């Protein structure tokens, strides 16, 4: 028998044994208790007690374990050295390794539905940690967010803010409103998400990389949650509609009505060039234009003046097939 | 209104149950009343545009808002109410016993106003039956509003008690009521058109049940989604514009339902790895009675149907398997395979008129995706993410002579670099490349659908977030996107650039300043070809340039007592289309007889300017009582070639015939507006 594999396996076994032994040696050395922390950090303590983390009724909560030190680690050295930001204590500062910060939170939250798939999440891949969005001590909302949506998201996603300012948009960033009708998290699962249909073929309008963290298995399944009338199934289907709403619509906002990615008729003409869609419709086809024919294919709602059922039709014969009835 | 008040009453009656709480119950919250005046100057579309997602139709108004939280060591209960009794009202009640159970109830209204006082010669706007004959005197037509009101209510329930098991159930019902625009072509192609009000009376019920187990190393979740959509009007009947003695029918979305069962799971593996699974199977069904004729000109074209009803049935299956691993401190890996299948089991219906037979195709597709992502944590806190994804899409259309939809193969490469090594800034850059091949069948150029066409897509993003000091931050971003389509006809280029910057600065405890600037430039270049006589090539370069900025300031005139707020936002979009036409196309058949390459370009292409100013002062009378007052001015100017010089009847005064003819309703007419808001509010915090 060759000894090489045996030696290799032995080394691996010993390595894991040492790791396990190290993890099991956790004791209460260096812990000072929450009351000691309160002595200097009363504001933080008061907010902690009020927050969900301070509820003893919740099993496994910091309140049931080591209080402040559940997350910040043993505080004895910190106290002995007279305190100070980051002195012998883990503070979740901006310079701290995101993975270390994550590990603290995931100790409890990894087993929850919310964070079960955090390991696949794009926010994680980009090097974020929980405190990028959550403020455990200062967060005012139920979710302890550092700011309200969508402002919190716009801190990084400034280009998306721009889309939501446009004249055709979903009501996520309405000015002078007491509350927003939709939030980013209405559609995006920012901490988990496990999209089954890859949407990257038709999106990446601006973005690069890995998924859009949708709250559904596909883009259209997400849209159907509010726009169930588009679900059909119809007798006459418009294939791009059945495949991905994002082929024609920009879900955040657009300069063009109905959040369209391009203005009709040029949007339709991007695909349809046979028959009359193959004609150029120009300035001459406006209300005051001198065109001698074809104007009603351009002014007002343009192609939709006739092809009103572009999302699908149950109409008869050629009228249904062309989405006219 | 009655139903609204009942819901309010129901929710409010639940609040007194807080008396079961123990003595340590803490009550916090605030109540505010906002009163004000709104003056809007604008056309029918302008007033609606200003109130697109708002309820500000009445000039004088009084809003109430409540935010109430009760909290104890054992229980919690929160109640929030906004815009009480208005079309934007919202009520949320959530509560429970910490660690045992939680529940929520909500009611929410969302208006979507598009155009007020639209007009139609038809009687019965908003119903499923429109009667009337065309007439050109639009001043005598009936008026209605293009507006849709959504009312959503629902509840949810969760059981943290059974941890590590979990069980959640949620239910939501949405009622959508209003009118949208429909097009009723008198005859196609080539006939005049009639715009008409389409009734919206939809109800959707969504139910989600999910349960599972979550304790390391396992996470298992089983769920079921059910959605049921009901349309009170699945057909709109109307007097045929060309034959007042005949009734025609426009089909509307049919009743449908769908269900989906899913399993999501994960198991932790050695070497800091995790294997994740997502399996789903769903079915969507619809059912409708088919229409067997339509009116063309002054006659009815009838069909012999192979069956009177249509049952649509689409099955979807999805599988996704993802292995993530962080075996070494500097390496993050992800390898995945995803499969999505849309299978169409709907009825195949033949519709026969004379010797012409129409058979509906059944569209199906499968999408296979596989890929690998690798993240490297390099020295000096450099984070490098790289990825490759292969997506294969297989499209099928049954019952068509030639399948015109291609299969696609997408290769997507991505790389991102981020540097976290500096205290005062985080620079980042990313690049993504997509290479798509498409195997179109059939040689005819009209099959070259741009959505599926072969392409090369490049996206570059760079950005930097800087924090020069604790009280100063600046973020900058730039992107460039380029799509080069491989097909000769249709859209052949999509190019865009964008730039954004945001800054925040807090000046001691005296003031906070913030601002942003956004810029975007887009160009689409299609090369088109008119296939029917007169044959010829044409090009239409569409350009959009949009930019905007915002400036805001908070001045703490008397710290913690008097604060002044100033806000200014500005947004401008300028679009145009530059046509280049083959001279052969300037022929009467296309309506371009009066044109040449100098006068066909479009200079108003969804052009708009929107800006606003807000001034507000907030004074804290006591720690609990805050009084504020303010003024808002908002201006929206909109110009567009398709709506400027709007005519309800084209040509004005008639006769309305041919492909220049139209009876329109005013949908999106005159969207410009000026609005002045004066408001004052009193907020009491406790």
B152-186 pLDDT, tens per residue? 999 999 998 888 999 999 999 999 999 999 999 88
* Residues contacting residue B553 through CB under 8 Å, at least 6 positions apart: B511, B512, B513, B514, B564, B565, B566, B567
pLDDT in tens, B61-90: 888 999 999 988 889 999 999 999 888 999
Closest in B532, B592, B668 to A282, CB measured: B592
B554 has pLDDT over 90: yes
Closest in B100, B313, B500 to A162, CB measured: B500
Of A46-60, A280-294, B90-104, B460-474, the poorest mean pLDDT is in A46-60
Predicted local confidence at residue A210, as pLDDT: 61
* pLDDT mean over A108-134: 90
* pLDDT mean over B96-111: 94
Cα-based torsion angle of the residue sequence B38, B42, B48, B53 in order, rounded to the nearest 10 degrees: -50
Cβ neighbours around B535 below 10 Å, total: 12
* pLDDT mean over B437-460: 79
* Residues contacting residue B341 through CB under 8 Å, at least 6 positions apart: B315, B316, B317, B318, B364, B365, B366, B367
CB distance B108–A95 less than 8 Å? no
Cβ neighbours around B569 below 10 Å, total: 18
Dist CA B277 CA B499 (whole Å): 38
Dist CA B374 CA B223 (whole Å): 31
Interface list for A 7-46 with B (CB within 8 A): none
B2 has pLDDT over 50: no
For chain B, what is the radius of gyration of the CA atoms? Answer: 30
Q: How far is A323 from chain B (nearest CA, A)?
A: 10
Instruction: Decide: helix, strand or coil at residue A257.
Output: helix
Q: How far is B675 from chain A (nearest CA, A)?
A: 12
Q: How far is B631 from chain A (nearest CA, A)?
A: 11
Q: What one-character DSSP code corresponds to residue B69?
A: E
B530 has pLDDT over 50: yes
Q: What one-character DSSP code corresponds to residue B622?
A: S
Instruction: Decide: helix, strand or coil at residue A23.
Output: helix
* pLDDT mean over A188-200: 83
pLDDT in tens, A221-248: 999 999 999 998 999 999 999 999 988 9
Cβ neighbours around A210 below 10 Å, total: 24
A146 burial class (0-12, 13-18, 19+ CB within 10 angstroms)?
middle
* pLDDT mean over B354-378: 94
Closest in B65, B280, B324 to A178, CB measured: B65
| Selection from B150, B166, B145, B14 nearest residue B92 by Cα | B14
B302, B293 Cβ separation under 8 angstroms: yes
Contact residues, chain A, for B195 at CB < 8 Å: 300-301, 305
Q: For residues B422 and B121, which has the higher predicted lDDT (pLDDT)?
A: B121
Of A71-75, A92-96, A159-163, A220-224, the poorest mean pLDDT is in A92-96
| Selection from B102, A269, A282, A143 nearest residue A260 by Cα | A269
**What does the buried/exposed string (b/e) look like for B584-612 if buried means 16 or more CB atoms within 10 Å of the residue's CB?**
ebbeeebbbeebeeeebbbebbbbbbbbb
| DSSP-derived secondary structure for A169-214 | E-TTS-TT-SS-SS-HHHHB-TT----SS--TTT--SS--SS---B
Contact residues, chain A, for B501 at CB < 8 Å: 158
Q: For residues B157 and B584, which has the higher predicted lDDT (pLDDT)?
A: B157
Residue in B closest to A165 by C-alpha: B571
Contact residues, chain B, for A220 at CB < 8 Å: none
Q: What is the mean pLDDT of chain B?
A: 91
CB distance B231–A229 less than 8 Å? yes
Q: Which helix (H) or strand (E) holds A7?
A: helix A3-24
Q: Which residue(s) pair with B262 in the sheet?
A: B223, B280
> Does A157 lie at the interface with B, CB-CB under 8 angstroms?
no
* Residues contacting residue B352 through CB under 8 Å, at least 6 positions apart: B303, B304, B305, B358
Q: How far is A80 from chain B (nearest CA, A)?
A: 28
CB distance A201–B498 less than 8 Å? no
Residue in A closest to B253 by C-alpha: A229
CB distance B276–A198 less than 8 Å? no
A258 has pLDDT over 80: yes
Dist CA B147 CA B144 (whole Å): 9
β-pairing, B243-251 with B235-240?
A: antiparallel
CB distance A156–B188 less than 8 Å? no
Interface list for A 195-234 with B (CB within 8 A): 195-198, 200-202, 204-210, 217-218, 221, 224-226, 228-234
B393 has pLDDT over 90: yes
Q: Which of A217, A218, A224 to mutate to test the interface with B (most CBs of B within 10 A)?
A: A217
Q: For residues A186 and A126, which has the higher predicted lDDT (pLDDT)?
A: A186
At A23, the pLDDT band (50, 70, 90 cuts) reads: very low
Contact residues, chain B, for A288 at CB < 8 Å: 644-645
Q: Is the dihedral of CA B596, B598, B604, B606 positive or negative?
A: positive
Dist CA A89 CA A105 (whole Å): 16
Residue in A closest to B422 by C-alpha: A95
Dist CA B337 CA B463 (whole Å): 31
At A25, the pLDDT band (50, 70, 90 cuts) reads: very low
Dist CA B397 CA B385 (whole Å): 39
ipTM above 0.85, yes or no: yes
A1 has pLDDT over 60: no
Of A26-30, A216-220, B170-174, B462-466, the poorest mean pLDDT is in A26-30
Q: How far is B126 from chain A (nearest CA, A)?
A: 17
Percent of chain B surpassing pLDDT 70: 95
A21 has pLDDT over 50: no
Cα-based torsion angle of the residue sequence B421, B423, B429, B430 in order, rounded to the nearest 10 degrees: 70
Dist CA B53 CA B80 (whole Å): 20
* pLDDT mean over A190-199: 83
B193 has pLDDT over 60: yes
Q: Which of B305, B447, B641 to mutate to test the interface with A (most CBs of A within 10 A)?
A: B641
Predicted local confidence at residue A284, as pLDDT: 94
Predicted local confidence at residue B580, as pLDDT: 93
Closest in B266, B490, B548 to A270, CB measured: B490
| DSSP-derived secondary structure for B520-573 | EEEEEEEEEEE-SSSPEEEEEEEEEEEEEEEEEEEEEEETTTEEEEEEEEEEEE
A91, A72 Cβ separation under 8 angstroms: yes
Predicted local confidence at residue A142, as pLDDT: 78
């Amino acid at each position: 028998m060759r000894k090489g594999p045996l030696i290799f396996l032995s080394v691996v076994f010993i390595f894991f044994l040492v790791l396990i032994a190290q993890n099991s040696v956790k004791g209460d050395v260096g812990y000072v208790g929450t009351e000691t922390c309160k002595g200097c950090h009363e504001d933080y303590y008061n907010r902690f007690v009020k927050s969900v983390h301070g509820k003893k009724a919740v099993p496994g909560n910091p309140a049931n374990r080591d209080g402040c030190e559940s997350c910040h680690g043993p505080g004895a050295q910190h106290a002995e050295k007279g305190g100070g930001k980051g002195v012998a204590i883990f503070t979740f500062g901006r310079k701290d390794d995101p993975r270390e910060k994550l590990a603290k939170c995931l100790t409890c939250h990894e087993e929850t539905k919310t964070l079960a798939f955090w390991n696949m999440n794009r926010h994680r891949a980009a090097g974020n940690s929980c405190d990028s969005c959550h403020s455990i001590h200062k967060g005012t909302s139920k979710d302890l967010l550092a700011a309200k949506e969508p402002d919190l998201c716009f801190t990084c996603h400034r280009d998306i803010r721009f889309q939501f300012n446009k004249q055709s948009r979903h009501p996520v960033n309405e000015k002078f409103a007491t509350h927003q009708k939709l939030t980013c998290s209405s559609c995006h699962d920012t901490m988990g998400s496990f999209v089954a249909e890859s949407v990257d073929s038709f999106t990446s309008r601006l973005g690069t990389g890995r998924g859009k963290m949708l709250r559904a298995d596909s883009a259209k399944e997400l849209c159907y949650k509010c726009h169930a009338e588009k679900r059909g199934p119809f007798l006459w289907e418009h294939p791009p509609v059945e495949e991905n709403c994002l082929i024609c619509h920009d879900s955040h906002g657009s300069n063009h009505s109905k959040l369209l990615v391009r203005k009709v008729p040029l949007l339709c003409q991007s695909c349809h060039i046979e028959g009359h869609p193959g004609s150029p419709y120009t300035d001459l086809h406006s209300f005051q234009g001198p065109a001698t024919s074809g104007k009603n294919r351009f002014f007002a709602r343009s192609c939709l003046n006739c092809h009103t059922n572009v999302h699908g039709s149950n109409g008869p014969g050629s009228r249904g097939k062309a989405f006219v009835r | 209104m009655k139903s609204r008040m009942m819901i309010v009453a129901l929710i409010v009656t639940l609040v007194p149950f807080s008396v079961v709480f123990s003595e340590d119950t803490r009550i916090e919250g605030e109540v505010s009343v906002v009163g004000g005046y709104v003056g809007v100057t604008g056309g029918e579309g302008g007033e609606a545009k200003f109130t697109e997602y708002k309820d500000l139709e009445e000039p004088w108004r009084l809003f109430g808002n409540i935010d109430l939280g009760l909290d104890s060591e054992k229980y919690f209960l929160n109640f929030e109410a906004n815009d009480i009794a208005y079309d934007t009202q919202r009520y949320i009640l959530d509560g429970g016993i910490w660690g045992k159970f939680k529940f929520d109830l909500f009611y929410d209204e969302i208006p979507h106003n598009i155009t007020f006082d639209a007009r139609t010669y038809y009687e019965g706007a908003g119903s499923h039956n429109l009667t009337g004959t065309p007439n050109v005197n639009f001043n005598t037509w009936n008026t209605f509003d293009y507006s849709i009101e959504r009312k959503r209510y629902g509840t949810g329930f969760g059981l943290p008690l059974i941890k590590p098991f979990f069980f959640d159930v949620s239910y939501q019902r949405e009622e959508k009521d209003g009118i949208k625009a429909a097009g009723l072509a008198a005859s196609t192609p080539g006939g005049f058109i009639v715009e008409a009000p389409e009734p919206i009376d939809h109800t959707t019920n969504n139910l989600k049940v999910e349960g599972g187990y979550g304790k390391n190393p396992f996470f298992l979740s089983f769920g079921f989604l059910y959605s049921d959509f009901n349309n009170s009007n699945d057909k709109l009947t109307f007097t045929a514009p060309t034959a007042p003695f005949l009734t025609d029918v426009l089909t509307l979305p049919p009743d449908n339902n769908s269900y989906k069962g899913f399993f999501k799971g994960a198991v932790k593996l050695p070497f800091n790895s995790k294997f994740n699974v997502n399996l789903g199977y769903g079915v969507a069904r619809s059912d409708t009675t088919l229409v067997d004729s339509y009116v063309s000109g002054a006659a009815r074209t009838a069909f012999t149907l192979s069956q009177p009803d249509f049952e649509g049935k689409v099955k979807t299956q999805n599988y996704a398997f993802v292995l993530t691993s962080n075996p070494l401190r500097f390496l993050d890996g992800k390898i995945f395979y995803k499969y999505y299948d849309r299978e169409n089991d709907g009825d195949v219906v033949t519709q026969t008129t004379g010797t012409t037979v129409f058979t509906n195709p059944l569209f199906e597709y499968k999408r296979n995706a596989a890929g690998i992502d690798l993240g490297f944590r390099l020295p000096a806190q450099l984070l490098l993410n790289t990825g490759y994804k292969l997506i294969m899409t297989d499209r099928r259309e049954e019952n068509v002579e030639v399948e015109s939809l291609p299969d696609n193969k997408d290769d997507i490469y991505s790389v991102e670099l981020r540097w976290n090594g500096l205290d005062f800034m985080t620079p980042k850059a990313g690049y993504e490349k997509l290479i798509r091949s498409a195997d179109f069948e059939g040689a005819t150029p009209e099959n070259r659908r741009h959505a599926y066409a072969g392409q090369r897509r490049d996206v570059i993003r760079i950005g930097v977030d800087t924090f020069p000091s604790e009280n100063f931050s600046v973020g900058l971003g730039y992107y460039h996107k380029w799509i080069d389509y491989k097909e000769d006809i249709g859209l052949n280029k999509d190019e865009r650039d964008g730039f954004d910057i945001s800054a925040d600065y807090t000046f001691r405890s005296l003031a906070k300043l913030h601002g942003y600037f956004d810029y975007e430039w887009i160009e689409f270049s299609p090369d088109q070809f008119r296939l029917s006589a007169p044959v010829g090539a044409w090009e239409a370069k569409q350009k959009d340039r949009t930019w905007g900025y915002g400036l805001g300031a908070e001045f703490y005139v008397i710290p913690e007592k008097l604060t002044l707020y100033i806000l200014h936002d500005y947004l401008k979009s300028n679009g145009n289309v530059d046509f280049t036409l083959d001279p052969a196309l300037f022929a009467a058949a296309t309506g371009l007889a009066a044109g040449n390459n100098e006068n066909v370009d479009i200079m108003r292409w969804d052009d708009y300017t929107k800006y606003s100013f807000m001034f507000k002062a907030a004074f804290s009378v006591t720690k609990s009582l805050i009084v504020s007052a303010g003024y808002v001015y908002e201006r929206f100017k909109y110009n567009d070639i398709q709506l400027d010089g709007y005519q309800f009847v084209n040509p004005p005064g008639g006769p309305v015939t041919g492909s220049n003819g139209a009876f329109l309703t005013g949908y999106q007419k005159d969207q410009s507006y000026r609005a002045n808001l004066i408001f004052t509010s009193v907020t009491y915090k406790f």
